[in-house]
């Protein structure tokens, strides 16, 4: 089978877990040299063991632009200039409007919105002309759901950035698109609930709430990311690919 990303350099922020890890594994299978990032070195090391010899792990925090500059320089030094960048790192911070704290607001904004903005800006010196950039949003970017106001707003901002960045980068033929998942089976639910039992209950409830009656597997998002990263999607820019089991439109 021909590989779709043979010898391409791919960076996946937050590639040490969940959707990002599934994308990293798929891209490595498709021949890419893959760099992943995350804050926790131990999780990065475990992920690299799963990705195999095509993987490079770099610790850093996407909410700190100087970390991003260092990460991209390390990628350029070890793997070369970047063909595809997946801006995936994110946190799911939920609370009712009345009790949402300033600290929670700053955390979710700094990682999901500021982090996405600077993840692209700081990559520009080492992004190849013609590169494909994919921003991971969420189907809640277009819905009103209780407890989700700040998180959903950060994901609406991400959707907006794909349009503006594509316009900014037209002269370099860099395409920026949004990949928008509905609920996906990843460790993120445990980060909200704090224990596995409640995380499973939350996942089941979300599956039942979704018209297709299940949550997605991370590999399904990885297949869509591969389409956006490769030349198969060459005519697509500033756009959104929605994989949400019918949640938004049905
Ligand atoms: N799972 C879903 O149902 C779902 C639905 C829609 C959208 N999404 C979006 O998909 C993306 C991935 O979610 P997931 O479910 O795969 O989550 P996950 O399993 O919790 O993985 C999140 C990844 O982001 C990294 N990360 C978090 N904060 C970071 C920071 N400040 N700097 C660098 N890396 C950071 C994490 O590593 P460290 O913690 O070690 O930093 C981890 O690698 C997120 O943007 C999320 O909002 C998820």
Write the DSSP symbol of residue 5.
Answer: T
This prediction has a pTM of: 0.98
CB atoms within 10 A of CB 179: 26
Q: Considering only CA atoms, which residue is closest to atom 21 of ligand 1?
A: 17
| Percent share of the chain, pLDDT over 70 | 100
The arithmetic mean of pLDDT across residues 85-97, rounded, is 97
What is residue 173's predicted lDDT score, i.e. its pLDDT? Answer: 98
Measure the CA–CA gap between 84 and 18, rounded to whole angstroms: 19
Report the relative pairing of strands 9-12 and 82-87 from DSSP bridges: parallel
- Per residue in 34-50, pLDDT (tens digit) is 999 999 999 999 999 99
Phi-psi category of residue 52: left, alpha or beta, with phi > 0 → left and psi -120 to 50 → alpha: left
From the CA of 63, give the closest atom in ligand 1. 31
Q: Is 72 a catalytic residue?
A: no
Centre of ligand 1 from the C-alpha of residue 171, in Å: 31
Angle at Cα 34 formed by Cα 33 and Cα 37, nearest 5°?
A: 155
Candidate from 18, 203, 205 with most ligand 1 atoms within 8 A of CB, to mutate? 18
16/89 Cα distance (integer angstroms): 9
Summarised one tens digit per residue, pLDDT across range 149-178 is 999 999 999 999 999 999 999 999 999 999
Mean pLDDT confidence for 106-119: 99
Q: Which of 41, 73, 78 is nearest to 56 (CA)?
A: 78
Chain centroid offset of residue 181 CA: 10
Report pLDDT for 190.
Answer: 86
Q: Where in the chain is the domain with CATH 3.40.50.720?
A: 9-181+217-241
72, 92, 151, 227: the catalytic one is 151
Residue in this structure with the two tokens 């991971």, named with its chain if needed:
136
On whether the CB atoms of residues 147 and 95 are closer than 8 A, the answer is yes
Rounded mean pLDDT of the chain? 97
Both tokens of 174, joined, read 């860099």
**Edge to edge, what strands does the sheet with 240-243 contain?**
55-59, 33-38, 9-12, 82-87, 127-136, 175-181, 240-243
Helix (H, G, I), strand (E, B) or coil at 193: helix
Residue of the nearest CA to atom 19 in ligand 1?
Answer: 18
pLDDT digits (tens, 9 = 90+) for 190-239: 888 888 899 999 999 999 999 999 999 999 999 999 999 999 999 999 99
Sign, CA dihedral 128-129-132-136, equals positive
Q: State the average pLDDT over residues 19-27.
A: 98
Query: How far apart are the CA of 188 and the centre of ligand 1, in A?
Result: 7
DSSP label at 234?
T
Ligand 1, CB within 6 Å, residue ranges: 13-14, 16-20, 37-40, 43, 61-63, 88-92, 111, 115, 136, 138, 181, 183-184, 186-188, 191
Q: Residue 54's pLDDT is what?
A: 82
pLDDT of 236 reads 98
| CATH architecture assigned to 9-181+217-241 | 3-Layer(aba) Sandwich (3.40)
Cα–ligand 1 centroid distance for 14 (angstroms): 6
Determine how many CB atoms are found less than 10 A away from the CB of residue 132.
Answer: 28
pLDDT at 119: 99
Residue 6 pLDDT class (50, 70, 90 cuts):
very high
pLDDT tens digits along 36-90 = 999 999 999 999 999 988 899 999 999 999 999 999 999 999 999 999 999 999 9
- Nearest CA owner, ligand 1 atom 17: 188
Q: Among 15, 19, 93, 204, name the best residue to mutate to test ligand 1's pocket (greatest count of ligand atoms within 8 A of Cβ).
A: 19
- The pLDDT, as a whole number, for residue 26 is 98
Query: Which ligand 1 atom lies nearest to the CA of residue 39?
Result: 41
Residue 198: phi and psi, rounded to 5, are -70, -35
Q: What percent of the chain has a predicted confidence (pLDDT) above 90?
A: 94
């Amino acid at each position: 089978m021909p590989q779709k990303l043979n010898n391409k350099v791919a960076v996946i922020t937050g590639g040490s877990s969940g959707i990002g890890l599934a994308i990293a594994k798929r891209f490595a299978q498709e021949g890419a040299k893959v760099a992943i990032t995350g804050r926790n070195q131990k999780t990065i090391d475990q992920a690299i063991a799963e990705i195999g010899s095509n993987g490079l792990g770099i610790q850093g925090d996407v909410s700190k632009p100087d970390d991003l500059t260092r990460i991209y320089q390390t990628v350029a030094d070890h793997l070369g200039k970047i063909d595809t960048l997946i801006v995936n790192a994110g946190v799911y911070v939920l609370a009712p409007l009345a009790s949402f704290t300033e600290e929670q607001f700053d955390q979710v904004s700094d990682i999901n919105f500021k982090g996405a903005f600077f993840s692209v800006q700081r990559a520009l010196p080492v992004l190849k002309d013609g590169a494909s950039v994919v921003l991971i949003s969420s189907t809640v970017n277009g819905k009103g759901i209780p407890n989700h106001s700040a998180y959903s707003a950060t994901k609406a901002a991400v959707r907006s950035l794909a349009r503006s960045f594509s316009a900014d980068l037209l002269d370099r033929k860099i395409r920026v698109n949004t990949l928008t998942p509905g609920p996906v089976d990843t460790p993120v639910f445990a980060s909200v609930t704090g224990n596995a039992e409640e995380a499973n209950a939350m996942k089941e409830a979300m599956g039942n709430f979704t018209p297709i009656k299940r949550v997605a597997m991370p590999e399904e998002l990885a297949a869509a990311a591969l389409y956006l990263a490769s030349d198969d999607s060459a005519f697509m820019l500033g756009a959104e690919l929605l994989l949400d089991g019918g949640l938004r439109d049905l």
